[in-house]
């Protein structure tokens, strides 16, 4: 792995190592690559940043990302712009950018240190893959000009976007930190480069904060939820003989990713339609019923709550549904609530019949 190689290499003067990347207009991929190295890999703590396209200056850097035309982890070279480059993350098809390259080689170590586990442990591997798919892959696709959907297939189907979401992407967030075309530029080339580098440092810190939030979430919340969801998945026949109702008995936890992976691992067990959980981890908490989406990021439910219940609340909903203690059902039918576990379970069973 590149991290081990990096630990063996030091600059000749024994000072902090240097990371080289290109100057000029910056992007999210090299901003994140630099952040991951400097913040999460001990070798690069306090690393000097060199932004240039001068081969001689880059040649003096310990590590080079997103420039130089070479990918050679043994020499700490992580560029992806060369014509022959076609490397992707294990199990994925998206061609890597500098962010994906650095994450592929150093990500396991970052997660292992956070979890206090060996790099080759199952849990480290699970989080390593999940953070790539949920965060880093989008940067790889953006930098390589790869769309989320196949443009030809969309055109053939006659599908058009209802509104622009371009401003909400990670790439757009970093891109806005570049200077505007008509911003004043210092006449002194050194001062101009310093001003540009300050903007890059801000962009690197900004995208890094988002990465750190994901790292914290997936190691501290998402991973522990796996055990909670697995227990509920294993006991769902207690509530419905076909296993269509899953109950998180103690409290709600991030369940969608784990549910889908468990269903893939056990395809013969059928699909969960409704997930029940208490609003709070207290004895008298109200309960929720949430419909499992057809896919993790979909707004379409596998089986929405009955149309006749939607948009009603309290006693009026009691009369319509025939279940006492009702609190609400959302107008779109994807979620509802009841005052008790018995009540929300009754709502789920009745919804299965309708």
What is the 8-class DSSP label of residue 180? P
Dist. CA 298–CA 41, nearest whole Å: 36
Q: What angle do CA 73, 75, 81 make, to 5 degrees?
A: 60
Nearest to 102 by CA among 10, 37, 26, 170: 37
pLDDT at 250: 85
What confidence tens digit (pLDDT) does each residue in 314-336 have? 999 999 999 999 999 999 999 99
What pTM did the predictor assign?
0.84
**Cross-strand partners of 21:** 51
What is the 8-class DSSP label of residue 219? I
Regions in the chain scoring below 50 on pLDDT: 1-14
The DSSP line for 194-218 is: HHHHHHHHHHHHHHHHHHHHHHHHI
**Count of alpha carbons within 13 Å of 111, Cβ hemisphere only?**
28
**Cross-strand partners of 247:** 276
pLDDT at 15: 55
pLDDT at 264: 92
């Amino acid at each position: 792995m590149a991290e081990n190689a990096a630990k063996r290499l030091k600059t000749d003067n024994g000072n902090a190592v240097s990371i080289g990347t290109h100057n000029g207009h910056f992007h999210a991929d090299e901003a994140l690559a630099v952040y991951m190295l400097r913040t999460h890999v001990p070798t690069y703590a306090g690393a000097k940043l060199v932004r240039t396209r001068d081969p001689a200056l880059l040649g003096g850097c310990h590590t080079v990302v997103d420039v130089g035309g070479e990918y050679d982890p043994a020499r700490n070279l992580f560029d992806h712009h060369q014509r022959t480059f076609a490397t992707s993350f294990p199990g994925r098809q998206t061609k890597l950018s500098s962010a994906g390259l650095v994450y592929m080689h150093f990500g396991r170590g970052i997660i292992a240190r956070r979890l206090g586990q060996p790099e080759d442990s199952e849990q480290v591997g699970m989080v390593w893959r999940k953070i790539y798919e949920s965060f880093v892959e989008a940067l790889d696709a953006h930098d390589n000009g790869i769309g989320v959907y196949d443009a030809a297939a969309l055109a053939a189907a006659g599908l058009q976007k209802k509104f622009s979401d371009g401003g909400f992407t990670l790439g757009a967030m970093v891109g806005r930190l570049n200077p505007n075309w008509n911003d004043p530029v210092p006449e002194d080339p050194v001062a101009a480069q310093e001003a540009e580098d300050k903007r890059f440092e801000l962009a690197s810190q900004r995208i890094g904060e988002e990465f750190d939030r994901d790292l914290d979430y997936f190691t501290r919340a998402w991973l522990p939820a796996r055990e909670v969801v697995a227990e509920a998945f294993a006991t769902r026949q207690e509530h419905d003989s076909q296993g269509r109702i899953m109950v998180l008995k103690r409290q709600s936890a991030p369940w969608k990713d784990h549910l889908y992976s468990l269903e893939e691992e056990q395809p013969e067990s059928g699909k969960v339609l409704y997930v029940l959980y208490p609003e709070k981890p207290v004895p008298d908490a109200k309960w929720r019923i949430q419909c499992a989406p057809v896919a993790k990021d979909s707004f379409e439910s596998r089986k929405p709550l009955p149309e006749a219940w939607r948009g009603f609340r309290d006693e009026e909903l009691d009369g319509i549904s025939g279940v006492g203690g009702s609190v609400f059902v959302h107008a779109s039918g994807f979620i509802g609530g009841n005052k008790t576990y018995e009540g929300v379970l009754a709502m789920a069973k009745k919804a299965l019949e309708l």
